[in-house]
């Protein structure tokens, strides 16, 4: 029986320039989920272009329909950990993708919302349809963006000499919350691998006398609910700036459509005289301690590297798309060795810069 509408959110994206042909040719390429620090479940539907979507409660389920077709590799069902939704099922019918979310409890008006996020050329994230659902005791923002913006106290006056003791280092486990990052063939998520290694790296650096701050210590979005990509990334940079960090280190796992590609690389942006120096110090240690392919150090305009005022690196630790390296990233010994090796590279940097 069709319930009376508790809440209905419909996109009229044609008003912003989406044609019927664009919506019809859209493909749903991935569906991911996460729960943020406000206990809000977020389902993210990645698309090849802007499209139309709507949500309605029907037969004790929240039904989301997206105009377009489903790419064959998208799972037709998967479980989520939430007290409101436990299972997601996906169907493709008549140029529409139906995402069904059976409800474990009744939703009140205002406890869920549907909105679109545009393709972001900086972070290279695609067009997305997003469904936010407040869990029990969860807080759902009624605005598209978080009400408050993290305030940066000052730009970092970084230090580079005299050894690692007393140096302020910010570690950024990439992705998290609603953004899983890359996902391996066996289901390993980048956000989880990044966090596990980052926590170990924090401990190693602290043992060496560094003062460590973290952009996140759990599976959350750093900025908050419904942030744009730029807001999320800037929130990570702000952690380093607010802690007057001497160094910013962002940890990631790589991915490629070619599953044979493997190896490690360290990225930098030359905004100071030391970005390339720290990149080389970390990469040299990685190659010395692991038998994986050396993809070298590379210059790139990644947001966190470019916008942080102190020297910074973004380390692509291995390829989740490579089955062998995914297995390594899942193992505790590899995570431990990776964290220790990066710490040694950082120690080399502060000893020799």
- Give per-residue pLDDT as tens, 277-329: 999 999 999 999 999 999 999 999 899 999 999 999 999 999 999 999 999 99
User: Which pLDDT belongs to residue 138?
Assistant: 57
Across the beta sheet with 27-35, what order do the strands follow? 69-70, 27-35, 40-47, 127-134, 112-117
| Under 8 Å between Cβ of 326 and 173 | no
Report residue 47 as tokens. 């698309």
Count the helices and strands in the chain (H runs, E runs). Answer: 7, 17
DSSP assignment string, 150-218: PPP---------S-STT-EEEEEE--BTTB---B-TT--BHHHHHHHHHHHHHHHHHHTT-EEEES-SS
Q: Is the pLDDT reported for residue 19 higher than 60?
A: no
pTM of this structure: 0.64
The 10s digit of each residue's pLDDT in 92-137 is 988 899 999 999 988 876 788 888 888 876 567 788 998 888 877 6
Contacts of 236 (CB under 8 A, 6+ apart): 172, 215, 222, 250, 304
pLDDT more than 90, % of the chain: 58
The 10s digit of each residue's pLDDT in 126-184 is 889 988 888 776 555 544 333 334 444 456 589 999 999 999 999 999 999 888 888 89
User: Which pLDDT belongs to residue 148?
Assistant: 38
């Amino acid at each position: 029986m069709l319930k009376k509408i508790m809440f209905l959110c419909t996109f009229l994206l044609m008003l912003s320039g989406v044609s019927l042909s664009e919506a019809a040719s859209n493909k749903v390429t991935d569906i991911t989920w996460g729960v943020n620090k406000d206990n809000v479940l977020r389902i993210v539907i990645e698309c090849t272009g802007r499209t139309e979507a709507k949500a309605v409660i029907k037969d004790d389920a929240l039904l989301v329909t997206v105009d377009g077709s489903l790419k064959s590799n998208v799972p037709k069902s998967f479980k989520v950990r939430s007290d409101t939704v436990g299972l997601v099922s996906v169907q493709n019918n008549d140029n529409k993708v139906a995402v069904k979310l059976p409800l474990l409890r009744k939703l009140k008006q205002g406890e869920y919302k549907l909105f679109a996020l545009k393709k972001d050329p900086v972070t290279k994230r695609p067009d997305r349809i997003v469904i936010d659902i407040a869990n029990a005791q969860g807080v759902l923002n009624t605005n598209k963006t978080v009400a408050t913006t993290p305030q940066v106290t000052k730009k970092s006056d970084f230090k580079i000499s005299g050894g690692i003791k007393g140096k302020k280092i910010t570690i950024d486990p990439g992705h998290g919350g609603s953004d899983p990052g890359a996902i391996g063939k066996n289901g390993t998520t980048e956000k989880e691998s990044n966090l596990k290694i980052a926590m170990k790296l924090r401990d190693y650096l602290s043992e060496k006398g560094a003062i460590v701050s973290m952009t996140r210590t759990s599976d959350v979005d750093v900025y908050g609910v419904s942030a744009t990509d730029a807001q999320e990334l800037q929130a990570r940079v702000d952690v380093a700036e607010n802690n007057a960090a001497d160094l910013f280190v962002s940890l990631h796992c790589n991915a490629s459509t070619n599953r044979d590609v493997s190896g490690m690389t360290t990225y930098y942006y030359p905004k100071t005289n030391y970005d390339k120096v720290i990149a080389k110090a970390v990469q040299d240690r990685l190659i010395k301690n692991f038998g994986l392919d050396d993809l070298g150090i590379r210059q790139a305009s990644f947001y966190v590297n470019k916008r942080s005022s102190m020297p910074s690196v973004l380390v692509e630790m291995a390829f989740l798309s490579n089955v062998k390296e995914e297995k390594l990233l899942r193992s505790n010994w590899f995570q431990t060795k990776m964290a220790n090796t990066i710490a040694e590279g950082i120690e080399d940097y502060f000893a020799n810069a």
